[in-house]
Amino acid sequence: DAKTTQPTSMDCAEGRAANLPCNHSTISGNEYVYWYRQIHSQGPQYIIHGLKNNETNEMASLIITEDRKSSTLILPHATLRDTAVYYCIVEGSNYKLTFGKGTLLTVNP
């Protein structure tokens, strides 16, 4: 199963865009990239997923490079409530999701 690499932590100013990078250089052609986040110690929350085209929903945008070896999650206008651990996950065999340590995003006032 493909592994992902994310920075341990990032800061962002409230109201600015937060750009969270993820490397997944061993991703296979038919494996999706998922993003989840975990606020404090709550259950993870789904954000977005994609295969090769850029995706956007009401929460975020997902930009996947043409070679699919990396992606960026964009929160267009970060708020204090977006402070959380963000997990970038490449779907494994049998659709299993393997969570790494993620990126702690801290949104500052």
Partner 1 sequence: NAGVTQTPKFRILKIGQSMTLQCAQDMNHNYMYWYRQDPGMGLKLIYYSVGAGITDKGEVPNGYNVSRSTTEDFPLRLELAAPSQTSVYFCASSYYGGAEAFFGQGTRLTVV
CA distance 61 to 1: 24
Sign of the dihedral through C-alpha 47, 89, 78, 83: positive
44 contacts partner 1 (rule: CB under 8 A): yes
Answer for the pair 62, 54: CB distance below 8 angstroms, yes or no. Answer: yes
x-or-dash pattern for partner 1, window 48-87, by CB under 8 A? -x-------------------------------------x
Residues in region 90-109 near partner 1 by CB under 8 A? 91, 94-102
Please tell me the count of residues contacting partner 1 according to CB under 8 A. 20
Answer for the pair 22, 69: CB distance below 8 angstroms, yes or no. Answer: no
8 contacts partner 1 (rule: CB under 8 A): no
Residues in region 17-36 near partner 1 by CB under 8 A? 32, 36
